[in-house]
A and B are shown apart, each in its own frame.
Chain A
Amino acid sequence: MTTMINQAAPAATETRPQRGLWAMGWRRLKRNKVAFCSFWVVMAYMLLAVAGWLNILGDGWRAQIAVPYAPPSFLAKTVADTLPPEAPVAGGTASAPALIMVTPEEDPIGKEMEIARQNMGKYATANDAKLESLPFGADLRGRDVIHKTLKGASTSIFVGLLGALLSIVIGTSLGSVAGYFGGKVDDFLNWFYSVFTSVPDMLLLLSFAAVAGRGIKTIIIVMALTSWTGTFRLVRAEYLKLRSREYVQAASAIGASDARRMFVHILPNISHLLLVQFSLLTVALIKYEAILSFLGFGVGVTQVSLGSMLAEAPAELVQGFWWQMVAVTIAMSLLVTTFSLLIDGLRDALDPKAR
């Protein structure tokens, strides 16, 4: 029997050039101009993200190179409002009594302080002059907004991608088990799923975040734990449908194990759905990360993300320092819009029933 199948297969390819779903999808995507452009923009972002993780790009975002809130270079300089020079104090400074402070003799560690003073030369650092303006301005601490945005976008994408990946893994494994086995297992997992979906998303996210503390790792885990439900429902439905198809029954007949049928036979057939789901989740999680960071549950002090930059914006805007917010807005809306357009294109391209 096996030989016959092996012989029959090449015959089929001779008559009609066999194209896989992916190759067909790629061709369809190329025909959709908007989606195809979006694809390249998203790819550029991905490249930027990778460069950010490898610290090739935006690594120096923490360097304070300019004066606080240095304006963008393209802005015309405004004349600062200044006070008249201080009137000399009557009697001059000479008559002021000497300052009182702890003397080295009184100081319990006075000797060591003195030695430290002699040794401090090796730690001396050059004190560079701060720039008055930067190409796209600086933040409160004189850090370059462009560098910060690049690094922030990189963090946000990283968090979005990894969170979405983890979420897909959780959703797919639970969904496939529920859909494939059905019965009591399905009931239990459905109940578990209902509990999660009964709580409003944002509330669940915030309560997880409040318990787990800060940092990129926690954000990723928290977001994955709250966003797997959509994937679960989708995968479960697909497995319910596909488990009784002929090719699965055939696999069963030749003695393939449950795991093999689930992951080798059925899973590849829903992979296009997972890709779309993954992209959707990535966009959603990039937005969720921004909200979390904005609310102060996000990244730590040594990290920057688009959300943590947005959190600084309200205080800056009332003072008229708009550049950081504009930079984040551009970076974020371009990313989210192109990603969403790409997803639309992908869904059309990968749907076998489409045109």
Chain B
Amino acid sequence: MNMYKAALAALLGVSALTAHADPDPDKVLRASFNAPETGYDPAKVSDVYSHGVGENIFEPLLTYDYVARPAKLIPNVVTALPEVSADGSTYIFHLRHGIYFSPDPIFKGVKRELTAADAAYGLKRLADPAVASPSNYLVLGHFVGVDELADAAGKTGGKFDYDKVVEGIKAVDRYTLQLKVKTPYPGLQYILAMPHTSPQAREVIEGYASNTPAHPVGTGPYMLQDWKPGVKTVLIYNPNFRHEVFNFQPAADDAEGQRVAKEMNGKTYPQIGRIEVTVFTEEQPMWLQFKSQQLDELYGVPQPLIRGVLTIDPNNPRRAKIKDEYAKIGLKLSRALDPEITYFSFNGKDPILGGLGKPQIALRRAIAMSFDEQSAMRDIRRNNAVRVEYITPPGVQGHNPHFRMFFPYNRPQAQALLDQFGYKIGADGYRTTPDGKPFTIDFLSNEGAIGRQWDEYWQEAFDVLKLRVSFRHVAFNDLLKAMRSCTYGITGAAWIADYPDGDNFQMLMWSKNIGAENVSCYSSPRYDKLYEQSQQLHAGPERDKLYDAMNKVVSEDSAWAPGETRFRNRMMQPWVLGDEVHPIFQTSWRFTDIQKK
């Protein structure tokens, strides 16, 4: 008995020792992406795959709790969430001591500590015209003095003066960063949790100036070992990474979070020694490799395979399980709604469909009420989605699950409504405008087989309503161009959260965003007034009330036809532990472990 106890103690001692050692280099996670990344300079890239890898290399000031739902901000390399001045204009961050960049020849063998100057440099870089960052909107126009620096640099022969002290982004001392905004910026804390705004070591960026995307150096748990662009990326753990122990505190009713906590709590962060990411542009080989255990993690179940792999409850798409044949071999599934909305947008500036007149509202509503979204969702999305009922989707701050934004699907009523407003059926069998003119609806659609599938569902709705429609098939970039220039009739649109706050969605219908995010070209003074009020408020019941009112305005005006919010389905081999889809993070590799066989 005593001996047993002693053996147990020895065992515990050993495990305690190993828990503080470096991650096991033999623990290799073979992960997959279904589209190529572009590079690993967070200021220069804007695709989810590049940032998905970047998440593991760079650390923004703030980050999200891995298991809290909805996503919750927590401090990352700072000691606490920022101190905000009374007028909401100044934010103070205190950096944690003893956080080091990963080793790199540039540092000449010296351990390089993270300082406030690095944080300021990382932010200012986004504004530098020479960097030409696609994310410069996150910084430009917000911080005191930064736009002036960018303007000066934009002139011929100008150079961005990183050394000039500006109040907007300032390193007060070695560990204190001050941010000062010109006008309230409620999204700022979320912006500072995006990998785009991560601190950067200036000597690294300047040392590798010719090819920064291939030389990422950050303070995160991993560093880049090998990169074959568009084919393979290999990450290994950062030996300079601080010691932290997983201690997840999921909600009591969150079964998946509880599983993650049980599998990971008490282990050091990170556990995996090496991550190999392979890019698959074709769906079939990705699935076959995963099925034959050559991949540990499947980034997402490809849409055509969903029916073959998952059983989804047709009445409640939130319930799903892996098909028995795959469950038997122990494959695991983590499933979550993406923080996104897809919708069909009427062009608010279209002479026939646009505007706030009653006949135009009636026409839009009749079309929206005639679209058999439920069948389309079942057949094209394979039930792997829920219907959009609020501008702000589930999982994003400000969503109201008890709101119904769209009038119910009812084709007979839609036809009677068109009769009511004098859209009479002409001699050719198609309806005319109330003043008797024939018209054709310009439907902008994606080229390719998927676009055609949606067109078939829409054609059916227009056939029932007796409206003439013409489908225009264009490539994605032309689609965007037409949407931004308001030159279409109806089109499908989608928006995925930059950060999990409702403001990121409600702004989609703000008239000042026409030409940019407001692709519906929707302009309603009522909506604008409510939105501008909501911008002054932080998340809370008061802002929620305004959001409800704004959703009602859009619903009354029938500015959209219904769309969906899709689920992301990640699959893992049985030996992968702690892997869970996070609503904002693209990857969970750094939080996972591999059970060695």
Contacts and interface: CB of A to CB of B under 8 A. Distances in A.
Interface in B439-477: 447-449, 451-453, 455-456, 459, 471, 473
Contacts of A123: 411-412, 415-416
A129 interface: no
B403 A86 contact: no
Interface string A120-151: 11111100000000000000110000000000
B208 interface: no
Contacts of A311: 449, 452
Interface stretch (B54-62, B136-144, B548-556): B548-556
Interface stretch (B263-271, B301-309, B482-490, B588-596): B301-309
Contacts of B307: 319
A115 interface: yes
B246 interface: no
B283 interface: yes
B319 A117 contact: no
A109 interface: yes
B262 interface: no
Interface residues of A, number: 44
Contacts of B597: none
A102 interface: yes
A296 B452 contact: yes
A108 B416 contact: no
Interface string B397-416: 00010111101001111111
Interface stretch (B222-230, B358-366, B430-438, B535-543): B358-366
Contact of A112 (B315, B417, B451): B417
B533 interface: no
A68 B379 contact: yes
Contacts of A121: 412
Given A83-B311, A108-B361, A109-B365, A125 B404 contact: no
- Report the contact-size class of chain B (Cβ under 8 Å from the partner): 35 or more
If over half of B's interface residues share one DSSP class (helix, strand or loop), that class is named, otherwise mixed; here it is: helix
Contacts of A141: 379, 456
Nearest to A110: B556
Nearest to A300: B471
Given A115-B420, A124-B412, A312-B449, A108 B358 contact: yes
A112 B403 CA distance: 23
Contacts of B361: 108-109
B417 A116 contact: yes
A117 B403 contact: no
A100 interface: yes
Contacts, number: 126
Nearest to B418: A116
A100 B415 CA distance: 25
Interface in A67-114: 68, 81-83, 86, 96-102, 106-109, 112-113
A302 B460 CA distance: 9
A320 B365 CA distance: 38
Interface string B346-367: 0000000000001001100100
Contacts of A101: 403-405, 555
Contact of A319 (B304, B323, B456): B304
A81 B323 CA distance: 7
B456 A83 contact: no
A99 B427 CA distance: 43
B304 A119 contact: no
A30 interface: no
A102 B308 contact: no
Contacts of A312: 449
A312 B455 CA distance: 14
A347 interface: no
B311 A81 contact: yes
B404 A99 contact: yes
Most chain B CB within 10 A, of A100, A296, A302, is at: A100
Nearest to B305: A318
A224 to B, nearest CB: 22
If over half of A's interface residues share one DSSP class (helix, strand or loop), that class is named, otherwise mixed; here it is: loop
B416 A120 contact: yes
A116 B363 CA distance: 13
Nearest to B311: A81
Contacts of A140: 379-380, 453
A301 interface: yes
A319 B420 contact: no
B174 interface: no
B242 interface: no
Interface string B553-566: 00111000000000
A287 interface: no
A320 B555 CA distance: 40
Contact of A86 (B284, B305, B319, B380): B319
Contacts of B471: 214, 300-301
B360 to A, nearest CB: 10
B575 interface: no
A302 B443 CA distance: 14
B27 interface: no
B404 A108 contact: no
A315 interface: yes
Given A115-B420, A296-B447, A102 B556 contact: yes
Interface in B295-352: 302, 304-305, 307-308, 311-313, 315-316, 319-321, 323-324
Contacts of A115: 416, 420
A117 B420 CA distance: 10
B456 A68 contact: no
A215 to B, nearest CB: 10
Contact of A81 (B324, B417, B548): B324
Nearest to B319: A83
A149 B39 CA distance: 47
B113 interface: no
A119 B320 CA distance: 41
A109 B321 CA distance: 44
A183 B419 CA distance: 67
Contacts of B453: 140
Contacts of B400: 100
Contacts of B311: 81-83
Contacts of B308: 318-320
Given A101-B404, A301-B459, 18 more contacts: A81-B311, A81-B324, A83-B311, A83-B312, A83-B321, A86-B313, A100-B400, A108-B361, A109-B362, A109-B417, A112-B420, A119-B420, A120-B413, A301-B456, A308-B452, A314-B304, A319-B307, A320-B308
User: 10 tightest A-B contacts by CB?
Assistant: A120-B412, A123-B412, A116-B416, A116-B417, A119-B416, A101-B404, A120-B413, A120-B416, A123-B415, A315-B304
29 contacts: A68-B378, A81-B324, A99-B404, A101-B403, A101-B555, A102-B552, A107-B556, A108-B557, A109-B365, A112-B417, A112-B421, A113-B365, A113-B407, A115-B420, A119-B419, A121-B412, A122-B412, A123-B416, A140-B379, A141-B456, A214-B473, A296-B448, A296-B452, A296-B473, A301-B471, A318-B287, A318-B305, A319-B304, A319-B307
Interface of B: 283-284, 287, 302, 304-305, 307-308, 311-313, 315-316, 319-321, 323-324, 358, 361-362, 365, 378-380, 400, 402-405, 407, 410-417, 419-421, 447-449, 451-453, 455-456, 459, 471, 473, 548, 552, 555-557
